[in-house]
Structure 1
Amino acid sequence: MREMTKRPVVTISFFRFSRITARIWALYMMGRARLSLPSVPGIGFWKLCGSGSGEGFTPLPNTAVFAILATWPDEQTARTQIDRAPIFDKYRSKASESWTVFLETSSVRGVWSGDTPFHPTGQKITGPLAALTRATVKPSLALKFWRRVPDISQMIGSDNNVAFKIGIGEVPLLHQVTFSIWPDANAMAAFARHNGPHASAIRAVRDEDWFSEELYARFAILGDTGSWEGASPLAKLDIHV
């Protein structure tokens, strides 16, 4: 069995709520959980996120899916607290399905809410990897941004190399996070370089200065717990731990 890393770890926990009462509870917890998360032993930077409809890459909210992103000093602490901390246990008890992925930061640039939340190892990833982008969209340019997103969503949704993809965010319309898992860096780079809606949007971001804040990070995948749509998304990559 793989030895747990002693380096800082990032987790993203996804929760699906089927019942209407559970969805109302999850919306309420977007405020209430802010009081509980800081007291979880070992937790560092954390964010509560909602999601968009479909695969999350739309401005229409999906009241069934929510996420908690968190940083931890090491993998053992992350796994222990995800499994035992009352706030995570409460979310799982209300959810019809939940999945947590454990990540080690390889590289990162930019800031999130003025902070540098992830601590990169600088190690090159030779196998499967995860990518996270986070941006604060300037209010005056939000309409332009969201006009582009459906085309990008269709493009990434049709890419068979993507093992998992979702769009989440802290504030609807203005704060956007994309998270995706790929078999290797070449597959991810091929998607980014493709001369289509994604490349066009990237050029517009630079030329028209759409974002007031942005962050880009790549992660090695340490393992996961739980399931999503009935299975581990990592099973497609044969790295379920």
Structure 2
Amino acid sequence: MQTVTLSLFRFDSVAARLWAFGMMAAGRFALPRVPGLKFWKLCGTGTGEGFTPRPNTHVYAILCVWPDAETARNQLERARIFRRYRAHASEAWTVFLAPTSVRGQWAGVTPFQAQTPPETGLLAAMTRATVRPRRAFRFWSRVPDISSVIGADPNVIFKIGIGEVPLLHQVTFSIWPDADSMAAFARDRNGPHAKAIRAVRDENWFREELYARFRVTGERGTWGGVSPLAHNQGHA
């Protein structure tokens, strides 16, 4: 069963942050050599809750697609590039995901293979978009409103904004306790999220879009000194 992992790394010292920045280029040569790795993206993050155009030089992310959970766990533990990231990072956390639905493409391909819809348990939502340069200002003017609503939602368990290219390539990722709470956030027709979706369609903001949902199957490490999933359904 295809497994997707999102790994976050926090770098505190100036030397570590410079190393992580350099790996945004150097990592492109190392990741293709990792056995079993089918698709990968090196990403930076935004400041605050991550949904901002200002980069956070302390936090970086690696998104990976693996053929199965065993390969994912083995390579994340053993592959040299991931060991190097953990050695330089002050903190690292990985969430393991099983795709349940996907629509659209990422860099011209559909990286996730949708599998059996979840029955119960934690769910994650991911949106990825390539913003048309002439629409970037309009897009980023809406994002703070959406970010504040997500942050205030009592149901959201975890959220972060990441991206490959500042301003133009944006990924939002959030974890929810169940499908109902995730749908309730998106359903508010008068909220900033719904208004932004309508603007996407009416004003043709994006050149490429991908929307995916996942079942959360596990985690490794901590974030902010704790497990983000610890007070929800048990995941190893």
Cα offset, 1:211, TM superposition = 0.3
What letter corresponds to residue 231 of structure 2 in structure 1? K
Counterpart Cα distance in 1 of 2:229 and 2:33: 30
- Equivalent residue, structure 1, for 2:90: 96
Counterpart Cα distance in 2 of 1:81 and 1:232: 21
- 2:142 maps to which of 139, 148, 157: 148
Counterpart Cα distance in 2 of 1:236 and 1:81: 28
Deviations 1:159-203 (A, max 9, x none): 111110000000000000000000001101111112211111111
What letter corresponds to residue 223 of structure 1 in structure 2? G
Counterpart Cα distance in 2 of 1:75 and 1:113: 24
- 1:223 maps to which of 218, 227, 235: 218
- 1:235 maps to which of 214, 217, 230: 230
Deviations 1:2-50 (A, max 9, x none): xxxxx11100100011111111110100000000000011101000000
Give 3-state SS (helix, strand or coil) of 1:181's partner: strand
Q: Percent identity?
A: 65
Counterpart Cα distance in 2 of 1:133 and 1:125: 22
- Compute the RMSD of aligned alpha carbons: 0.8
- Equivalent residue, structure 1, for 2:152: 158
Cα offset, 1:125, TM superposition = 4.0
Counterpart Cα distance in 2 of 1:97 and 1:233: 13
- Equivalent residue, structure 2, for 1:180: 174
- 1:50 maps to which of 36, 44, 48: 44
Give the structure-1-normalised TM-score.
0.96
- Equivalent residue, structure 2, for 1:114: 108
1:213 lines up with 2:196 in the alignment: no
Kindly indicate whether the alpha-carbon contact (under 8 Å) linking 1:8 and 1:119 is maintained by their aligned counterparts in 2.
yes
Counterpart Cα distance in 2 of 1:239 and 1:105: 19
- 1:126 maps to which of 120, 129, 132: 120
Counterpart Cα distance in 2 of 1:41 and 1:162: 34
Q: Which moved more, 1:64-73 or 1:190-199?
A: 190-199
- Equivalent residue, structure 1, for 2:22: 28
Number of positions where the alignment pairs a residue of Structure 1 with one of Structure 2? 235
Counterpart Cα distance in 1 of 2:231 and 2:79: 29
**Deviant stretches of 4+, over 6 Å:** none
Kindly indicate whether the alpha-carbon contact (under 8 Å) linking 2:104 and 2:208 is maintained by their aligned counterparts in 1.
yes
Give the structure-2-normalised TM-score.
0.98
Counterpart Cα distance in 1 of 2:85 and 2:119: 32
Counterpart Cα distance in 1 of 2:117 and 2:48: 34
- Equivalent residue, structure 1, for 2:164: 170
